[in-house]
Structures are given as C-alpha cells and as structure tokens.
Amino acid sequence: MTILNSAEAAQAFGESWAADLQGGEVFALYGVLGSGKTQLVKGLARALGYRGDVTSPTFTLIHEYRGGRLPIYHLDLYRIPDESGAIHIGVEDYLPSDGVTVIEWPESVGALLPPDTRHWQIDVASLTERTIHKK
C-alpha cells in the first residue's frame, strides 16, 4: 500500500507506471468519485510525453491522448451499467490496444478485461490523503 498525500503525489505514482510500458497494457482503476483516478492518468500521460490537458472523460466516456511515446486511451465507465453498454460504445476496441488503456469504473466490464489487466484500488483516507494498492 502506498499513501498519496496530494494530487502531485498521485501524478508521480502514475508516472512510475510508464517506464516499462510497451503498448497493450490495461489499467483498471477502482475508487469513489474524487479519489484521484484522473490524477494518476495525468502523471502517466506526462511520463509518456503527452503535453496536452488530461481531464476526466466523465461525459465523453473516452479520451484519446496522442503525441507521446504511446497513445493513452482513458475511459470512464461510471455511466455504463453493464457489458452490453460497454460493447455498444466500443470498449472492446481498447482491450488491448496499440497503446495504454486506463479504465475508471471498470466494474461493468469485468469479464471483458484481459487477464493481465493491472487492477488498482484507491481509497480516500482523508480530505488530503489517499491510499493505493494492487487489487
């Protein structure tokens, strides 16, 4: 378990994932609203060389970040109730992909996730502190 005591710490943790990535990796991020899932993606994108804005795809469902060492596909499935809904929006196209896929709220697509998906749980310990661990 790692303690993250700021948005910057969460971003640094996300940055640490980038070194060994080669494309095709899938990350599943679990945690309540405001737990810092998008902060992890910001750090990962920065470490892979993406220089644009990284925001939560809550309303668009999928953001693609290109221009770095690998493309990043950032999915937010909060509003997707089940696998058929996920299939309808094209989630399977990103599992796996040529880049790195990060899924917030992956609960609805559990059976679609590749076996080597990296599952991370983020818990809110306090207003300023989060804990993160492999799930």
pLDDT tens for each residue of 84-135: 999 999 999 999 899 999 999 999 998 999 999 999 999 999 988 999 999 9
Where in the sequence is the domain holding 47, given as residue range(s)?
2-134
Q: pTM of the prediction?
A: 0.94
Give percent above pLDDT 70 in the chain. Answer: 100
* Averaged pLDDT for residues 12-35: 95
List the helix and strand counts (H, then E) for the chain: 3, 7
CB < 8 Å & 24+ apart, contacts of 89-92: 89/61, 89/62, 90/62
CATH number at residue 8: 3.40.50.300
From first CA to last CA, the distance across the chain in angstroms is 10
- Please tell me the total count of domains within the chain: 1
